Amino acid sequence: MSSETDDLRGGLGRNLTYGLLEHLGRQIVTGAFAETPFPTEADLSEEHGVSRSVTREAVKMLTAKGLLTARPRQGTSVQPVANWNLFDADVLRWLLERKFSPELLRQFNELRAAIEPAAAALAAQTADARGLALIEAGFARMVAAEAGDDDGLNADIAFHLAILRASGNPFFAQFRDVVATALRTSIRFTNRIVGRTADLAAHGAVKDAICAGDPARAHAAMTAIIGDVMTVIATEQAHHHA
């Protein structure tokens, strides 16, 4: 029995389920079952040395994420990509880890361009003292990171999530997992290409506009940040196709 199976058995039932979920999710997203049928619950249990109930739970979770579909008498099969729940943080993470794709990052930043400037404008109109404090704290972390006293990636993400929360709109706030997951890859990518961390002045302009209660300026400042990222991605894509 492999040490991986030992590890799978070693935890509590819930850890076993998440271990199997992670393993199967990555396999599905990387196309492991493109040519072969998805295994039965019995085969999965045997292969991974876990109980049928653990397997059933993991399959149920993958079905809820849109990756699998279970039909009576036809068994379980992998769903087409169009049916996957891209707003699920696990699915998005597996996609981003699968194979680095500037195309996927471009699509994600198109989504950001539709959401984050609007969230910034709303925050300028409606943010309460706590919301503004979170934005200030996120920016302060970015300043600290610039001086080497905080993690630049986490500080940048904290700033963007604070704005989603400060918008006061629960629908925008729910994008936090998607934004955090994809920003992690997006920021690493742009930093590697540009050779620097986030533009402090550009982020400061967003913060100042929100704190001044100026929605139009906040919208424009956030649009500029995402526009810069889109330019980096477009340039990189052009190099790939050249």
Check residue 72 and give its pLDDT.
82
CATH code matching the domain that covers 3-83, chosen among 1.10.1510.10, 1.20.1290.10, 1.10.10.10, 3.30.530.20: 1.10.10.10
Q: What is the pLDDT of residue 242?
A: 60
Quickly name the fold that domain 100-241 has: Four Helix Bundle (Hemerythrin (Met), subunit A) (1.20.120)
**pTM (2 decimals)?**
0.83
What tens digit of pLDDT does each residue of 59-79 get? 999 999 999 998 887 889 999
Tokens 């195309």 -> residue: 103
Mention every residue, 6+ apart, whose C-beta is less than 8 A from residue 71: 77
Phi-psi bin for 155: left (phi > 0), alpha (psi -120 to 50), beta?
alpha
Q: What is the pLDDT of residue 6?
A: 45
Residues of the chain where predicted confidence (pLDDT) is lower than 70: 1-13, 195-197, 240-242
Question: pLDDT at position 13, please?
Answer: 60
> Which token pair is 48?
């991974």
- pLDDT given for residue 196 in this prediction: 65
Q: Where are the domains of the chain?
A: 3-83, 100-241
Q: CB-based contacts of 150: which residues, under 8 Å, 6+ apart?
A: 141, 142, 144
